[in-house]
Amino acid sequence: MSALSDQLVTFAILAYLVAMISHAVEYALGNARARVAAAPVRELVGAGVGTAGGLPPLAPAVVPAAPPGPTAAERTARRARLGGRIAVAATALAALLHLGALVARGVAADRMPWGNMYEFVLTVSWIGVAAWLVVLVKRPSLRRLGLFLSLVMVLLVATAELVLYVPVVPLVPALNSYWFVIHVSTIVFSSGILLLGVVPAVAYLMRAGYEQGRRSFPYTLAKRMPTAAALERLTFVLHAFAFPIFTFAVIAGAIWAEAAWGRPWGWDPKETWAFISWVVYAGYLHARATPSVKRNVATWLAVVGFLTVLMNLFGVNIFFEGLHSYGGLPD
């Protein structure tokens, strides 16, 4: 079972890679189409040839100016759409493989697969991708965001596999409690949503810059992204959804800590960083609710908030020693 889980993780990474590449193709074709469509009809053919070097072959050079069939632009658009569909399908497949890996791992360990940092990161990232698929069903127009999302997934899952991997072991007694399930599941769930939330947040920051006319490097990436307003709204919705769950998880952690360690709150490094994340996200929600604070300032707070979550996920396990040292990093 454990070996099966490991294999499924590898396949999931591959599927995320495929998703990322397909998204990138869609993106590139989208750019090409924009250029082609902007060109006058007469130069259309030339434009197609001109871009063929860096891109998949477009139209043959001898297309008449007003062809009876689909124009080159239409064909490119269709290919872009196909790339997008393949990307979404690959993401869904990856999410399934990923889920399979988690289930196999849980069966092998005979418990929920959240016992160490490896399993934790795997679960958090799965929640993120599952939530993304839900968002996609509700808002197909946000599909292009998948490029960033699949990039994040490849990075996270591969890091988990390459750096954090540990074999299956049972839980230490301190974790053997129903509070383990309550506290950790909610932390994992909210972290997953926050992970997804940072994707539109970053995309928003780039897109907002682009819409304001910035044409330098990171902003140009956002050229084919959904509108800044839509990204900003998605950012808020995800954070507003995750924040109460995260709050509940922290409270549940305090209740558990009272039972296990004799105090609800002791400023253990994990607790401290959870506090920091909570305060930063509260700051984000405040900033967003305050008209005098600019939206991109607020969104930066969300990004900072996610950095603190990452710090808790990785940094605290690696740098500090505390009561939460169950990370189980390989020596």
Residue 244: CB minimum distance to ligand HEM, A: 9
Single out the residue of 93, 285, 311, 323 in contact with ligand HEM (rule: CB under 6 A): 285
**Residues in contact with 6: Cβ distance below 8 Å, sequence separation at least 6, in sequence order:** 101, 165
Contacts of 58 (CB under 8 A, 6+ apart): 32, 36, 48, 49, 51, 52, 72, 75, 76
Min dist. Cβ of residue 313 to another protein (A)? 14
Q: Is 260 in the site for ligand HEM (CB under 6 A)?
A: no
C-beta closer to another protein: residue 68 or 331: 331
CA separation for the pair 33, 167 (Å, rounded)? 48
Among 41, 259, 289, 307, binds ligand HEM (CB under 6 A): 289
Where are the alpha helices (H) located in 262-294, listed in sequence order?
269-289
Q: CA-to-CA distance for 286 and 293, rounded, in angstroms?
A: 9
Q: What is the DSSP string of 43-90?
A: GHHHHHHHTTTTSS--S-TT--SS-SS--HHHHHHHHHHHHHHHHHHH
User: How close are the terminal C-alpha atoms of the chain, in Å?
Assistant: 24
Of the candidate residues 61, 286, 294, 321, the single one contacting ligand HEM (CB under 6 A)? 286
Indicate the angle between helix axes 178-211 and 295-310, nearest 10 degrees.
Answer: 140
Contacted by 261, from another protein, ligand HEM, none: CB < 5 to 8 Å by type: another protein
Residue 237 within binding range of ligand HEM, rule CB under 6 A: no
Partner that binds at residue 60, options ligand HEM, another protein, none, CB closer than 5 to 8 Å by kind:
none
CB count within 10 Å of CB 280 equals: 18
Task: Single out the segment in contact with another protein by CB under 8 A; choices: 40-48, 92-100, 209-217, 238-246.
Answer: 238-246
Q: Which of 285, 303, 310, 329 binds another protein (CB under 8 A)?
A: 285
Single out the residue of 158, 260, 303, 329 in contact with another protein (rule: CB under 8 A): 260
Which positions touch another protein (CB under 8 A)? 138, 169-170, 172-174, 176-177, 179, 233, 236-237, 240-241, 243-244, 247-248, 251, 254-256, 258-264, 266-269, 272-273, 275-276, 279-280, 282-283, 285-293, 301, 308, 316, 320, 322
* Binding residues vs ligand HEM (CB under 6 A): 282, 285-286, 289
